[in-house]
């Protein structure tokens, strides 16, 4: 376990079975709020468990825990359309906990895990209207490499997305 002392006392660790419920609630709250993810349907603990298990040998998941509460999670995994040396990243931080060091602490663990898995770079696909997400990934050193215009989400909304890249060398 890695302990990080930032503005809050965080523990960054891989998720375990009982984390899937809190992770699903956190993600569903972000989905309901809208604008910060391409996901449009809320998820259950079972959905989270399936996502964590998928491509387990090529993925890494971490949760941020503060005072026994899951306040964020992040993962890297293979993604269709990316070359084998690249992985996709997703970051979710509890509403009201952004800009408190949660994402930074998660990225430290996740980027090292991506290196350990043999990836050369990480791709973040971010809605262009997600200013917080764009700022977060830019502050980590991600750089834009491709704009995807007119992407239709599952609920019919059409958004633009920016693909960004972080080299792990």
**What residue ranges define each of the domains in the chain, with the CATH number in brackets?**
2-167 (3.40.630.30)
Q: What is the pTM of this model?
A: 0.86
Please check whether residue 84 is in contact with residue 117, taking contact to mean a CB–CB distance below 8 angstroms. Answer: no
pLDDT value for 40: 64
Residue 17 DSSP class: G
Neighbours of 95 (CB within 10 A): 12
Q: Is 73 left (phi over 0), alpha (psi -120 to 50) or beta?
A: beta
pLDDT value for 43: 86
pLDDT value for 3: 40
Q: Which pLDDT tens digits describe the chain residue by residue (169 residues)?
A: 444 434 458 999 999 989 999 999 999 988 887 656 666 678 899 999 999 999 899 999 999 998 899 999 999 999 988 999 999 999 998 876 655 578 889 999 999 999 999 999 999 998 888 888 898 899 999 999 999 888 877 777 788 889 999 999 8
Question: Which of 116, 114, 122 is CA-nearest to residue 86?
Answer: 122
Please check whether residue 141 is in contact with residue 166, taking contact to mean a CB–CB distance below 8 angstroms. Answer: yes
């Amino acid at each position: 376990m890695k302990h990080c002392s930032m503005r809050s006392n965080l523990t960054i660790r891989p998720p375990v079975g009982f984390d899937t419920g809190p992770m699903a609630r956190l993600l569903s709250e972000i989905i309901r709020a809208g604008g910060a993810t391409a996901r449009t349907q809320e998820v259950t603990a079972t959905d989270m468990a399936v996502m964590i298990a998928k491509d387990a040998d090529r993925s890494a998941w971490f949760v941020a825990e503060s005072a026994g509460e899951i306040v964020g999670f992040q993962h890297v995994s293979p993604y269709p359309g990316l070359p084998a040396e690249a992985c996709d990243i997703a970051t979710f931080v509890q509403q009201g906990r952004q800009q408190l060091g949660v994402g930074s602490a998660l990225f430290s663990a996740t980027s090292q895990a991506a290196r350990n898995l043999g990836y050369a770079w990480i791709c973040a696909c971010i809605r262009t209207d997600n200013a917080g997400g764009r700022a977060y990934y830019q502050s980590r050193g991600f750089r834009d490499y491709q704009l995807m215009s007119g992407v239709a989400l599952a609920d019919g909304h059409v958004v633009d997305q920016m693909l960004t890249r972080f080299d792990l060398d």
